[in-house]
Structure 1
Amino acid sequence: MTEKLDFDVVLVGAGISGINFAYRLQERCPSLSYAVLEGRHEIGGTWSLFKYPGIRSDSDLYTFGFPWRPWTEQSSIAEGSLIINYMKESAAMYGIDQHIKFHHHVDAADFSSTSKTWTLDVTANGKEKKTIRSKFFLLCSGYYDYDQPLKTLIPGIEDFEGTVAHPQFWPQDMDYTDKKVVIIGSGATAITLMPNLAKKAENVTILQRSPSYILSQPSEDGMEKAIRWLTWWNKPLEHTLIRWKWVLVPFLLTRFAYNFPNAARKMFQNITQSQLPPTIQRDPHFNPSYNPFEQRVCFCPDGDFYKALRTGKGSVETGVIEKVTKNSIKLTSGKELNPDIIVTATGLQLRVGGGIAISVDKAPYNVGGKFLWKGVMLEDLPNAAYVIGYVDASWTLGADATAQLICRMLNTMQKEGVVEVVPRLSDKERNSMKEEPVLRLTSTYVKKAKDIMPKAGASGQWRARSYYFKDILMAWFGDIKTGTEWIRGV
């Protein structure tokens, strides 16, 4: 029995990954129909959800932006509002916005081995139940929970009589003018919040259990200025050279850090020391226990984080919370902080595929523990892809490598009359495959999500993604058959 199809391809999520994938489908697979299902009210994903003061990109926009529509602002780091505008303009420019169905939350997705189709159970506008069928199913919904932040035990936080806020659900009416603020956390969100809150607050203290690496990044560096001067007559060339500068420089930096961790650690320490005021010691506040890029390196545009420290309105405290009282935070060291506002920037709670209940022939499919083929398709899950980017480079570079690989596979399926592609581990691989994490980070939020995240293998087609140049060449020319089963139509 042949099921009536609504679309050839359904994408879930209208964030950076979904918009990019939609463009690649239009470009590479023009004969295929598609729809983007977005549970929220607008394009943007992360940049639509988070509204805390100063929210900005944590990687450069020249590579975080789309390769098919250059980022033209003369600043590599951008505020969230500019990123959303850029995404909306890009989607409208290529008609992608006409394919997006907003307020469409995918509750469940089931693949039928008989009809070779996906059936998606969707709730539209909060109440209307819909069924949408497609040949291929693309998860472009990121890797964290939009509804729940990471739950971290902070003893006594419920006793605090001041304001408690989490960046994921920032109170838009909160007034922090002339207030004493303590931010619990040391990641990119905390590093962004501190200098922005310090503009109005009396003082802002980052309270961290352990420090992070924090590098200043100029809005426009000398190389970019030189490129703009030399290519004033050719804007497309200017954009291309600046983009490749941002592909190459971070690549070289991360390779240096991975291959020479001690030297990289020393280099980062020296850079940090040169920006600290004499009143703040590098050790322990800026002396991480791990090597650079074992966790995400935080970037601050034009050194705004260090500027806040030098003005005295920003500070850092390293220690363990003993308990929170009605008007203080007591540390095990004996120190006591007395904030008016506590911001719990304690991280993200990871979630795969937006929490969609996935099944194959009505049998529940558990993503946790499954291997990822080429970092793109999930083991034993037919006609589906999971878009995941890089954690040590721009997310979009990895997402685009995925999109180009899947588009190539879709075209090959059409050419060869294939109706189902499913990754399979051989018996030998299943018995001997060593496991590796998909996200190569030692961060707490990643460790806590180990059981719900897919995993990478140590060999063959199951290796974790490595770097952009290798992955994009794989997408263009690599083996797309080994490790997968291709089933032709009858």
Structure 2
Amino acid sequence: MTSAISPATSPAANDHFDVLVVGAGISGIGAGRHLMDQSPDRSFCIVEELESFGGTWLTHKYPGVRSDSDLYTFGYRFKPWTGAPIATAEEILNYMGEVIDDSELDQHIRYNHHIDTANWSNEDQLWTLTGVRKDTGEAVRFTANFLWMCQGYYEHSKGYTPEWPGMERFKGEIVHPQTWPEDLDYTGKKVIVIGSGATAATLAPNIAEDCEHVTVLQRSPTYFIPGVNENELADQLRALEVDESWIHEIARKQILHDQKEFTKMAVEQPELVTKELIDGIKVYLGDDYDVEKHFTPNYRPWRQRVAFVPDGDIFKGIASGKTSMVTDEIETFTEQGILTKSGEQLEADIIMTATGFNLSVLGGIEFSIDDKPLDFADTVTYRGMMFSGVPNMLWVFGYFRASWTLRVDILGDFVCRMLNHMQENNIKSVTPTVPEADQDMPLMPWIDPENFNPGYLTRSMHLMPKRGEKPEWQHTQDYWLEREELPKVQLDDPVFIYQQ
């Protein structure tokens, strides 16, 4: 099996490819496999700035790091998942390594390659990308007919930590889970974890047994779904010795059906869904615990991702007394910890800021067209994957309410269909263009905050492409709609401007 810390390959770094894939995380590895399966005569290369594949699952090293959605749908449709639904980072890396080995994808990946610039030339009908090899300092240059951006959506090198008053006074350590120090010793220490999302809910129970005490400090609660980390249907089918590929497909269909029904109910009957989610937490904490204060959010359950908590581990930690929840705002850091706005003094030796991501639009690369800087905020998104006026490029941005990788598969089909269509018709470039009749349509933020409003997105919405009022100029975030609509997109639609 390919190792998650395999050394970088080092072929010549001044090359041309039909398709250049940027990023060797879950999206990039999926893109490579789809190219091999559906467009096998295309030359392609996957460039990755890290030392190995994995993206999030390679960079995140905090204790207990795991998926917050099931691997039957987070895993690729072409690779059966055989483990527990919620998987650790190590298990996901092993799974991706198997995909690379099975497909012999390693020959197409170049690690330690950081891309700085990407310029499209209308005269040459080519992308030119420049950068540097991080392991040698050598300058690199690629040209490509088509650019497939799979670099993710946030900065891997730095997490988001707000600036709170008095941080410089705290005598202990302040760490962000995204840049976890390998030598951090929290044994017997008092720890505060600031945050309310999936990272905080994962981190707290995985360090609690070694700490003197863990306090989770949140400004406002988040929705969680506690449950057993198993898929009963998949286990029953395995007991019947059904083929794993069948189990994978059947389990995916069951989970996607259940998720669709949950999302529909969350929109149509939010009070009922909220009650069911809260009642699930009460099973672990009992009626005497103040669930309303600490686990009843002030937003509707469809507006942010609902994280799964395997076996209710954080709630078990609270019930045992090893972990406590504080719902309050920070007044100031002190020498000994944090003073909340209600006047409570929280003591800590270590403060962990599980406070989210910094959004990165297309990897922070400096894009240009004919050497003129390209600002994606000036473009309109075509179905959340292409951009008006930008030729031969697609960005993989997944789903919020369903597994990210579901869109990797759908967009893989679309890209390969588009590439094959272009080759058959001797087309060199395709540019999504807002038709003349729609030039005056209202433009709005990329995502409707009433539909989805996590902090990392709302903080950086001004950097994102705009959306139009018509469906094709929006990222619907609806997997169940897109899986039907994207395969039906007519490639001769006037939206697509081709050049031979």
The question of whether the paired residues in 2 share the 8 Å contact of 1:351 and 1:453 is answered with no
Where 2:439 maps in the other structure, the secondary structure is: helix
Distance 1:488 1:447, change over 3 A: closer
Does 1:27 pair with 2:63? Answer: no
Amino acid of the structure 1 residue aligned with 2:497? W
Where 2:461 maps in the other structure, the secondary structure is: coil
Does 1:54 pair with 2:64? Answer: yes
Trace 1:407-486 onto structure 2 (pairs within 5 A).
Answer: 407-438=416-447, 440-482=451-493, 484-486=495-497
Does 1:397 pair with 2:418? Answer: no
Does 1:161 pair with 2:144? Answer: no
The question of whether the paired residues in 2 share the 8 Å contact of 1:203 and 1:314 is answered with yes
Does 1:179 pair with 2:179? Answer: no
In the TM superposition, what is the alpha-carbon distance from 1:244 to its structure 2 partner? 1.6
Amino acid of the structure 2 residue aligned with 1:100? I
Distance 1:245 1:426 in 2: 40
- The corresponding residue for 2:85 is 76
In the TM superposition, what is the alpha-carbon distance from 1:22 to its structure 2 partner? 0.6
Where 2:85 maps in the other structure, the secondary structure is: coil
Where 2:299 maps in the other structure, the secondary structure is: coil
In the TM superposition, what is the alpha-carbon distance from 1:247 to its structure 2 partner? 2.0
Q: Deviations over 1:384-421 (max 9, x none)?
A: 00101101010000121111111111111111111110
Distance 2:453 2:498 in 1: 39
Does 1:41 pair with 2:51? Answer: yes
Where 1:418 maps in the other structure, the secondary structure is: coil
Q: Deviations over 1:259-304 (max 9, x none)?
A: 2222222222222223224553012111100011311112111111
Does 1:90 pair with 2:91? Answer: no
In the TM superposition, what is the alpha-carbon distance from 1:470 to its structure 2 partner? 2.5
Trace 1:113-128 onto structure 2 (pairs within 5 A).
Answer: 113-126=122-135, 127-128=137-138
The question of whether the paired residues in 2 share the 8 Å contact of 1:38 and 1:103 is answered with yes
Distance 2:106 2:447 in 1: 31
Distance 1:203 1:483 in 2: 62
Where 2:309 maps in the other structure, the secondary structure is: strand
- The corresponding residue for 1:388 is 397
Distance 1:101 1:211 in 2: 42
Where 2:428 maps in the other structure, the secondary structure is: strand
- The corresponding residue for 1:375 is 384
Distance 1:237 1:116, change over 3 A: same
Distance 2:138 2:315 in 1: 50
- The corresponding residue for 2:9 is none
Trace 1:170-319 onto structure 2 (pairs within 5 A).
Answer: 170-229=180-239, 231-277=240-286, 280-319=289-328
- The corresponding residue for 2:333 is 324
Ranges of 4+ aligned residues in structure 1 off by more than 6 Å: none
The question of whether the paired residues in 2 share the 8 Å contact of 1:438 and 1:454 is answered with no
Which of 4, 18, 24 lines up with 1:8 in the alignment?
18
Point out where structure 1 has 5 or more consecutive residues left out of the alignment. none
Trace 1:356-375 onto structure 2 (pairs within 5 A).
Answer: 356-375=365-384
Amino acid of the structure 1 residue aligned with 2:60? F
Distance 2:447 2:418 in 1: 22
The question of whether the paired residues in 2 share the 8 Å contact of 1:401 and 1:468 is answered with no
Q: Deviations over 1:35-56 (max 9, x none)?
A: 0000010000000011000000
Distance 2:318 2:410 in 1: 39
Using the TM superposition, name which of 276-285 and 137-146 deviates more. Answer: 276-285
The question of whether the paired residues in 1 share the 8 Å contact of 2:213 and 2:323 is answered with yes
- The corresponding residue for 2:11 is none
Amino acid of the structure 1 residue aligned with 2:42? L
Distance 1:483 1:394 in 2: 31
The question of whether the paired residues in 2 share the 8 Å contact of 1:14 and 1:45 is answered with yes
In the TM superposition, what is the alpha-carbon distance from 1:441 to its structure 2 partner? 2.2
The question of whether the paired residues in 2 share the 8 Å contact of 1:373 and 1:483 is answered with no
Distance 1:339 1:279, change over 3 A: farther
Distance 1:203 1:438, change over 3 A: same
Amino acid of the structure 2 residue aligned with 1:320? E
Using the TM superposition, name which of 355-364 and 217-226 deviates more. Answer: 217-226
In the TM superposition, what is the alpha-carbon distance from 1:483 to its structure 2 partner? 5.3
Amino acid of the structure 1 residue aligned with 2:346? L
The question of whether the paired residues in 1 share the 8 Å contact of 2:441 and 2:468 is answered with no
Distance 1:203 1:273 in 2: 22
Where 1:368 maps in the other structure, the secondary structure is: helix
Amino acid of the structure 2 residue aligned with 1:362? D
Where 2:440 maps in the other structure, the secondary structure is: helix
The question of whether the paired residues in 2 share the 8 Å contact of 1:191 and 1:300 is answered with yes
The question of whether the paired residues in 1 share the 8 Å contact of 2:445 and 2:465 is answered with no
The question of whether the paired residues in 2 share the 8 Å contact of 1:109 and 1:359 is answered with yes
In the TM superposition, what is the alpha-carbon distance from 1:228 to its structure 2 partner? 2.9
The question of whether the paired residues in 1 share the 8 Å contact of 2:118 and 2:365 is answered with yes
Where 1:11 maps in the other structure, the secondary structure is: strand
Q: Deviations over 1:172-222 (max 9, x none)?
A: 111111111100110110010010011211111110000001111311143
The question of whether the paired residues in 2 share the 8 Å contact of 1:216 and 1:303 is answered with yes
Distance 2:202 2:464 in 1: 27
In the TM superposition, what is the alpha-carbon distance from 1:138 to its structure 2 partner? 0.9
Distance 2:396 2:140 in 1: 24
Amino acid of the structure 2 residue aligned with 1:172? E
Distance 1:447 1:374 in 2: 20
Q: Deviations over 1:144-164 (max 9, x none)?
A: 011222241221112110111
The question of whether the paired residues in 1 share the 8 Å contact of 2:172 and 2:350 is answered with yes
Provide the aligned length of Structure 1 versus Structure 2: 484
Does 1:152 pair with 2:152? Answer: no
Where 1:451 maps in the other structure, the secondary structure is: helix
